[in-house]
Structure 1
Amino acid sequence: MKKVIVSIVVLLSLIVAGCSTDSPAENNGDNQENEKDGQVTVGLSVSTLNNPFFVTLKEGAESAAEEHGVELTVADAQDDPAKQVSDIEDLIQQGVDVLVINPTDSAAVVSAIESANDAGIPVITVDRSAEGGEVVSHIASDNVAGGEMAGKFIVEKLGGEGRVVELEGIPGSSAARERGEGFHNIVDHEAGIEVVAKQPADFDRAKGLTVMENIIQATPDFEAVFAHNDEMALGALQALEAAGMEDVMVVGFDATDDAVKSVEEGKMAATIAQQPEIIGSTGIETAVKVANGEDVEEFIPVELQLVE
């Protein structure tokens, strides 16, 4: 009789346990249902947030992330290729679903992209491309076309004859290479146009000022300056004004707020307008599609225009 009673007690215990509404998975911090709640996680590595263009790109990404319910983590490489590689490795360790990368250096970033590839994390590049690794989509303006646009503007304003200075971006970056290529596609075929000096100023306003001061000392006779971005153009403008060379035409690239204001005030001659906010938001929208298994275009262009 005692054996029968014990058996009934054990049976009842099993039935009660089986009827419990809390499974082990549900009691584990509710993590199975709410681990991500289907939320896409994206890591955004930006070359530098010391440049208004990339601040606007980040803001565009943040706005799109909020709209699409994306958990976004932003890392600022501070124009340091080694730091960017380290930042990306950290984002990989965090297990983000997709990486959106704005390379500081198109070659140096390859090892980090390959690490993401090995971890099975899709990579999207924005504004600047990478020289290797598997990238599912690149979102940018056509930098070659923008350089050509700047070259045509300068040639036209100079009447096909004149001496020009070129301020280059960070050596090794796709933006510097492509904008320079487009510019030379035009000016190198104009017999009356001579590029009398070209030096890198690393997309930086203070360096643009210093480099232009040095060029003025060494080669004071020129009529126009093409800078690969607005920050360098604005730095060059400061040096030219200090040297009493306000008549020199300065053309930039990016159409940042400061540059557009300078054009409106008649100081800078023109700038090539990119749309960094759209580049950033498109990066996030594309990341969501990739995370959901949708096909995306290998290159997604963002329109350019001349602001004069």
Structure 2
Amino acid sequence: MRSLAYAIAGVALGAAACGVPANGDATEGLTIGLSVSTMNNPYFVQFRDGAEAAAQRFGAKLAVADAQNNASRQATQIQGFTSRKLKAVIINPVDSNALATEVRAANLAGIAVIAADRAINHASVTQTLTSDNLAGGKLGAQELAKQIGGKGEVIVLRGTAGTSASRDRSKGFTDGIAAYPKIKVVAAQQADFDRAKGLNVMTGLIRSHPGLDGVFAENDEMALGAIQALGPKAGHVKVVGFDGTPDGIKAVRAGSMAATVTQQPRLIGWQAVQDAIKVAKGQTVAKTVAVPVKLATKENANEFWTF
């Protein structure tokens, strides 16, 4: 999106003033580890791309590992980074509750750990860098309520259990929809942030709830699966997604998705690497960073790039 491009440019221009090296020499030989929950999701591809762009910009090396949505595989990846004695590791956790042991071991080895896009629970990290998922969930609830006229039956498609993103988006949506007593959440079911699972779960739910008015999906992939399941009803049943992926924005432009709460995955990846370089060089960073979200609707969808 245009605002994202400007944001990344601003980060780069301000790098030297913030203490991050603006050339390769200052970070020569520095390798940052990055474990991504899954590369089978366009959102995390953008996240990875932003991280790689920052590493190239600042002259650091980035060791990228794909956990393939497997918490055990990711734990092994973190163990590998620790054995290599890297100075900083960025983790986008598969499960926010599953990496405490590995993170503690990294801490003991003097390795800084940054949790990116999702929090890590039960262990100390140097920084947690995420979108404002609570605010985004509430924003999604408000927009869905507006789209269906403040009354009717809605379904929630939840993301992967154990992730902070799903937990916070769910809470934000629940808090937001509570302001509309004429709206009833008739079902809330897990579909693991996956388009195919979103299609399958939604297909079953449509049979049980033929009078459905709206859907809130905790990411665009599940929203797109729900739209596919709705078939001819798509557009009549209002679907609100979350992420602002290229396919999600295209669906908003086309009118099959009513809206999506957009994140800035490239900026999250960029800033995670920028701050990892800072801590690797002994500088301090903010303990928590909440990256703003914005609503994309058909009226403003042309403001967002689809890359």
* TM-score, length basis structure 2: 0.86
Per-residue deviation at 1:158? 2.0
Residue pair 1:250, 1:270 contacting (<8 A) in 2 also: yes
The residue type equivalent to 2:249 in the other structure is V
Provide the C-alpha distance between the structure 1 equivalents of 2:186 and 2:249, rounded to a whole number of angstroms. Answer: 27
Is 1:271 the counterpart of 2:268? The answer is no
How many residues end up aligned between the 2 structures? 272
Which residue is 2:284 aligned to? Answer: 295
Provide the C-alpha distance between the structure 2 equivalents of 1:66 and 1:177, rounded to a whole number of angstroms. Answer: 33
Residue pair 2:235, 2:255 contacting (<8 A) in 1 also: no
Deviations 1:252-275 (A, max 9, x none): 000000010010011100001100
Provide the C-alpha distance between the structure 1 equivalents of 2:239 and 2:50, rounded to a whole number of angstroms. Answer: 28
Which residue is 2:52 aligned to? Answer: 62
Off by >3 Å, runs of 4+ in structure 1: none
The residue type equivalent to 1:287 in the other structure is A
Per-residue deviation at 1:121? 0.6
Is 1:135 the counterpart of 2:125? The answer is yes
Is 1:79 the counterpart of 2:69? The answer is yes
* Identity over aligned pairs, percent: 44
Which residue is 1:32 aligned to? Answer: none
Give runs of aligned pairs for residues 221-232 of structure 1, distance below 5 A: 221-232=211-222
Per-residue deviation at 1:40? 2.0
The residue type equivalent to 2:252 in the other structure is V
- In terms of Rg, which structure is larger? 1
Instruction: Select the residue among 212, 220, 243 that pairs with 1:254.
Output: 243
Is 1:39 the counterpart of 2:29? The answer is yes
Which residue is 2:85 aligned to? Answer: 95
Per-residue deviation at 1:245? 5.0
Where in structure 2 are there 5+ consecutive unaligned residues? Answer: 1-25, 298-307
Deviations 1:153-200 (A, max 9, x none): 111222221111000000110000000000001112321010001100
- Look up the SS of the partner of 1:113 in the other structure: helix
Q: Which has the higher contact order (CA 8 A, sep 6+)?
A: 2
The residue type equivalent to 1:238 in the other structure is Q
Is 1:235 the counterpart of 2:225? The answer is yes
- Look up the SS of the partner of 1:50 in the other structure: coil
Which residue is 2:275 aligned to? Answer: 286
Provide the C-alpha distance between the structure 1 equivalents of 2:145 and 2:205, rounded to a whole number of angstroms. Answer: 21
Provide the C-alpha distance between the structure 2 equivalents of 1:211 and 1:141, rounded to a whole number of angstroms. Answer: 26
Is 1:177 the counterpart of 2:167? The answer is yes
Provide the C-alpha distance between the structure 2 equivalents of 1:181 and 1:40, rounded to a whole number of angstroms. Answer: 39
Is 1:148 the counterpart of 2:138? The answer is yes
Where in structure 1 are there 5+ consecutive unaligned residues? Answer: 1-35
Provide the C-alpha distance between the structure 2 equivalents of 1:138 and 1:235, rounded to a whole number of angstroms. Answer: 30
Provide the C-alpha distance between the structure 2 equivalents of 1:213 and 1:276, rounded to a whole number of angstroms. Answer: 29
Per-residue deviation at 1:217? 1.6
